[in-house]
Amino acid sequence: MDKKKNLVKKRGLGKGLGSLIPEMEPETEEKEEKKDLSRLPLNQLEQNPYQPRTKFSEDEIEELSLSIKEHGILQPVLVRKKANENNRYEIIAGERRARAAKIAGLKEIPVIIKEMSDEQMLQISIIENIQRENLNPVEEAKAYKRLINEFKRTQEELSQIVGKSRSAIANTMRLLNLPENILDSIEDSLISGGHARALLGAKDEFVQNKVFYEILDKKMSVRETEYLVKRLNENDVSIKPKPFIPPPQYKTMAVRLSDLMGTKVQISAKNNNTGKIEINFRDENELNKIFEYLNSIQNAN
């Protein structure tokens, strides 16, 4: 048991978790766990309403379900009773295990039922995910913001709760100042947290987006991103806009019109869905044929 406690301390839980789940003496811990251990049907469990993690890897859950089929669930899921509802429970920690158990075909799973406030529930959810490195930087930042806004915690108090420095928490929360499209790309793992922090150094949103699309296009490293941001801030470099490439169906339409008119037709377009059609003619005779064709269409209508 002592080794287990030392491992928890090394991971940097912060002082908050000890107050949420008080540490037990080694000789009583095993008895206490057995006393709290229960089994509940999966259909009585509900998702953690304070779960900071919004994206779960389907491949990881599938792999875990295969392990559960073979070995069962080795660690109980932590739950609390849902207020004012009989036989309904909310998952505090272990949502991934519960999802995998359902895929594995289990009807019930081992749980530990704890009384816990909404704030404690959010705190444990954050700590568990941070330890497992499951949260992307945006999910982590949103979880900190929720603790501050809903539960009136300061960054200094969060530092004690999650075992991170106040400056690290502040820097993570600064990511929420980025434009929504960049935040979405972080959550989708298109760019890293390092790239995102480099983009925070841009002087305005225009520069942020310019560099952001360069990162996607050229697979830039974080160091290259920082250098480009610096140069754009100093107006030392400009990025030429990429030429717009019309949709492939425009070319098909141009070929069809060329066949109908008996002359070359070109369609050019802009990225705002506007453009022009160019009809070429080599001599007056060809021009008359084009005119007659267009006139025949008008008369047909």
DSSP state for residue 243 in the 8-state scheme: P
d(CA 301, CA 285): 25
What backbone torsions phi and psi does residue 137 show, to the nearest 5 degrees? -55, -35
Per-residue tokens: 238: 């400009």
Give the CA radius of gyration of the chain. Answer: 30
SS3 136: coil
Which of 114, 115, 92 shows the shortest CA–CA distance to 45?
Answer: 92
Could you tell me which residues are beta bridge partners of residue 269?
275
The single residue of 58, 60, 90, 95 carrying the catalytic annotation is 95
Buried/exposed code over 41-51 (b: 16+ C-beta within 10 A; e: otherwise): eeeebeebebb
Helices 137-151 & 118-131, crossing angle to 10 degrees? 160
**Which residues contact residue 32 at a Cβ distance below 8 angstroms, ignoring those fewer than 6 apart?**
24
Active-site annotation holds for 95: yes
- Decide if 73 contacts 26 (C-beta within 8 A): no
Which positions are catalytic? 95
